[in-house]
Each structure stands twice: as structure tokens, then as C-alpha cells.
Amino acid sequence: MKILISHSSQNADYGGALVKLLTGIGIDHDSIIFTSDTSYGIPVGENIFDWLKERITEKPFVIYLLSPQYYSSVACLNEMGAAWIVENQHAMIFTPGFDLKSDYFLNGAIDPREIGFFLNDEDRVTQFIESLRGPFKVTDNQVLIGNKRREFMQDIARLFSVSSVNNPRKKTTETITAGTSHKEDAIPPTVSPASTEPDNQARKVKKTPVERYFQDLADDKLKDGEVMVIYYAAETAQYKLGVGWRTNEEVGRIRKWEELNDLGDTLSKDYETVISRLEIRNLTEVSETTSYGNPRQVMLSKEMQDELMDLPDDFYSRCDKIAKLAAEKKNSLDSDEIPF
């Protein structure tokens, strides 16, 4: 059996990282079909459509690398339909930030109720590797698997960060808190006929937790740590955060990220308090527990995850301000040191 990575050419970098992971854990080079790399793609002189059609009829294990670009490609959708008809074994893998509630996903050929996973979900990636042991030869060296998985997560985080930089951030906080793509599209307040009081003329619409978060950002009501934890999640593509006995491990990763980006220690020094505040704001949910039922990992709400790909400009302005103050504080402390 071969592995066919069905993907959009615009997501070739993500697919390449996946190929690197698969070969790194022992899967044979010749077992992988990845058309964005000539060494894994269509032989010279072959008709692309006939060759792919023949490979699909051989019933390979299909990895659907799903993204908005995938669903906007006629060729990708044809490939999906062809593979689905012959009832291949398959796995759905989503690029970071993919919208699971999108119409194109919910109405596609693949059943949206099936279990898929995001490229930056380390636990699911681990399960996926183990699931390949049946039809494919995967190394038994757990240390090697751990190293390759770690490299893969780093590659995905880097690619996600680069794609975020290359896509201009067009949102503003006002558009997010309005719950629409343009401020002028917001639904006007409903006038209550039962009251003539000015304060009661508009019916208040209850904001979602994410809308409240960005409204508090606009009103300068957020603690610095509450801002930096979302910045950390967005820049590292890390939606899951360690808590409980995993707190020290997560703080260690945060410190490395802070040092690498010269951000001070705003988040790492107050991490547990920040997580508690996110919980109070209903921006997290427990995603993993210990055998005793104690939380050891929380995940940002799906609503917040959806915003990480396109955070507003004033969010980044606040992050820059926090980083600048942290640097000034550090320089001040360094200048106050008494030489020996």
C-alpha cells in the first residue's frame, strides 16, 4: 500500500513537513506519493490525470491535507471525490486555523463527523503515527520517533508563523467585537416599544467570551499576561497549554520563546494566574486530565482559535508596547547592578 498526500499546491510546505515526518519514522520513500516534490511525484512523460487516476484505483492510504486553498481548488476536489468513490483508507489532517464549521467542509465528500486532527496537535500526531503501524513499516525506536515528532511540530510552528507574517492583518478590534466582517454591517440595536427611556431603547446583545476579550483589549482592561498568552498561542501555533503537573514544562517553553523574541518574562512569571483568568473568561476548556481526573492540559476555545490566524492590529500594538516596557525594565535593572 502507498500513501497519497492529497493537498493544494499552496500548502506544499505543510505537505513537505509531513513527508519528512513519514520518512523519518521509517516509512519507505517509494511508498509516498506527493506531487509537489518531483522525487515523490509523477514520473517524467506521464499524463498527470491518468497517472493519478491509476494510483487512486490501487486504493492507497489517502491523507487529505485540508485547508481553505484545498476546497477552492477544482483539481483537489476532483481528487477527493475519486478517492472517496473507491473507498480508500484515509485520514483528515487540517492546516492550522482551518475552520471546521465552514460550509465547504460540512458539505464536502468526506463525512465531517469523522475524527481528524490539526497538524499542530502533538497528541493526535502521536496517535496518527501509531495508527500507521498496521499497513506500513514504522520504526520501534521511540526515541527516534520522539525526535522526529518534535522536529515536525517545530516545522509546523515555523510555517504557521511565516504564513501569518505573509498575510496582512486587516481586522480591527471593532470588527471583531461587532461580530461581523465589517463594522457597517453590524445589526442595528432593536428599539423596545414598551419603553421610552433612552437607556432602554436599545436591546443589549450579550457578547461572546472572545468578543468581550477584544472589547476589553480596546478599552485597555486586559492584564499584560492575558495579552501575551494569546500572542504566544498565535506565534507558536500552540492551542493547548499545560497546567497542573505540566505547568513547569509549559513555562519552560514560554521562557525560551520569550528569550528568543526578547519579550521579557511577562507571561512566564505569572503563567498560572493568567491561565486562571482565561478560565474565568470562558476562553479555555480542559482537554486532558490525569488518571485522578485533575486537569493537566487546557485548550483555547474554538472561537478564540479561529481568531488566532487574523488578530487585529491593535492587539499587536499592545504586544509591542508590553515587550518594549519589559526591555526597558531589564535595561534599568542591568544598569543598577553594582560591579564587584
Q: Does domain 207-334 have CATH number 1.10.287?
A: no
What's the rounded Cα separation, in Å, for the pair 244 and 108? 39
Max distance between CA atoms of the chain, in angstroms, equals 78
| Domain extents in the chain | 3-166, 207-334
Angle at 335 between CA 318 and CA 228, to 5 degrees: 20
Q: Tens of pLDDT along the chain (340 residues)? A: 889 999 999 999 999 999 999 999 999 998 998 888 877 766 655 656 677 777 777 788 999 999 999 999 888 888 888 777 776 688 999 998 899 888 888 888 787 788 889 999 988 999 999 999 888 999 999 889 989 999 999 999 888 877 665 554 434 443 344 333 333 333 333 333 333 444 444 445 678 999 999 999 998 899 999 999 999 998 888 889 999 889 999 999 999 998 888 888 999 999 999 998 898 889 999 988 887 778 899 999 989 988 887 888 889 889 888 888 877 776 665 555 545 4
Query: Exposure string (b/e) for 183-200, b if CB count within 10 Å is 16 or more?
Result: eeeeeeeeeeeeeeeeee
- Gap between the Cα atoms of 306 and 94, Å rounded: 13
3-166: CATH topology is Rossmann fold (3.40.50)
* SS3 state of residue 264: coil
DSSP 244: G
CB–CB of 209/301 below 8 Å? yes
CA distances from 166 to 121, 159, 169, 278 (A): 23, 11, 9, 29
